[in-house]
């Protein structure tokens, strides 16, 4: 983290950037290892807070603090894991009598009889159909997966399309409930339950002490940045301008 802060401060001092993005990874790795309520994660968050303070101080010394907007966000939430569902998933797949393989263990070529390939992604598992399943097979599969204790939902391709997920995410996605994951880590993310993130705006063009009540998303950050700088978002940019958080000058 020290390297990231020093690099950021050096850029502020030497290049006067229009946009500066700084990534702090320690909170993610520490929470995975020790959990979300551990002493270690609290220390990691305090170190990140100090780092942000150092960056803000660099802008103050540079004389640009009043002209700078700070945005602090995370790309996902995280929950502690009590139960690893990997064995339960394998047992459920075996109960269907549909030939399957694990993509992480065998990237291919797969056995010619294999119909299902699964991939574990912490808070969720992706199921891919290598060969078409009969309606009975698909119903049997979804029932077996849905009956796993700790599985919140099993999303089929139609539901995934409605959620605007990419086609390569899978034909089915097995989504874990809070406290469950396909992982041995102390805490995990990757399921729908960890979609809530933090999002703070502060500085130029932002209302002070204002709490945004409606739902906002990380994709709203980019169009809001465009707006704050008097620019129009390209048509390829998702999200909306968070106009309610802006001052009259914003």
Query: Per-residue DSSP letters for 166-208?
Result: -GGG-SEEEEEPTTEEBS-SSEE--SGGG----EEEEETTB-T
Contacts of 75 (CB under 8 A, 6+ apart): 197, 218
Supply the pTM of this predicted model.
Answer: 0.85
Ordered per-residue pLDDT tens for the chain, 250 residues: 678 889 999 999 999 899 999 999 999 999 999 999 999 999 999 999 999 999 999 999 999 999 999 999 999 999 999 999 999 999 999 999 999 999 876 666 888 999 999 999 999 999 999 999 999 999 999 999 999 999 999 999 999 999 989 989 999 999 999 999 999 999 999 999 998 888 999 999 999 999 887 788 899 999 999 999 999 999 999 999 999 999 987 6
- The domain locations on the chain are 2-79+194-245, 83-192
Right CATH for 2-79+194-245 from 1.10.10.10, 3.30.360.10, 3.50.50.60, 3.40.720.10: 3.40.720.10
- Per the DSSP assignment, residues forming a β-bridge with 156 are 172
Topology of domain 83-192 in CATH is Gyrase A; domain 2 (3.30.1360)
**Domain 2-79+194-245 identical in fold to domain 83-192:** no
């Amino acid at each position: 983290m020290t390297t990231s802060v020093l690099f950021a401060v050096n850029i502020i001092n030497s290049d006067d950037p229009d946009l500066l993005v700084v990534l702090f990874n320690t909170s993610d790795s520490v929470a995975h290892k020790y959990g979300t309520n551990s002493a270690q994660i609290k220390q990691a968050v305090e170190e990140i807070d100090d780092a942000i303070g150092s960056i803000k101080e660099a802008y103050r010394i540079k004389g640009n603090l009043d002209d700078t907007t700070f945005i602090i966000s995370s790309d996902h939430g995280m929950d502690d894991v009590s139960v690893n569902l990997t064995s339960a998933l394998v047992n459920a797949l075996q109960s269907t009598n549909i030939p399957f393989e694990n993509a992480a263990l065998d990237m291919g070529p797969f056995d010619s009889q294999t119909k299902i390939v699964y991939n574990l992604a912490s808070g969720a598992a992706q199921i891919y159909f290598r060969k078409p399943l009969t309606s009975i097979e698909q119903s049997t599969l979804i029932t077996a997966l849905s009956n796993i204790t700790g599985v919140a939902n099993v999303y089929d391709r139609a539901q995934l399309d409605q959620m605007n997920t990419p086609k390569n995410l899978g034909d089915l996605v097995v989504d874990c409930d809070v406290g469950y994951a396909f992982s041995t880590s102390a805490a995990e993310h990757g399921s729908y339950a960890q979609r809530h993130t933090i999002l703070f705006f502060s500085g130029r063009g932002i209302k002070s002490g204002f709490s945004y009540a409606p739902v906002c998303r990380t994709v709203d950050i980019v169009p809001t940045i465009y707006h704050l700088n008097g620019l129009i978002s390209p048509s390829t940019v998702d999200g909306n301008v968070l106009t309610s958080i802006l001052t009259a000058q914003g």
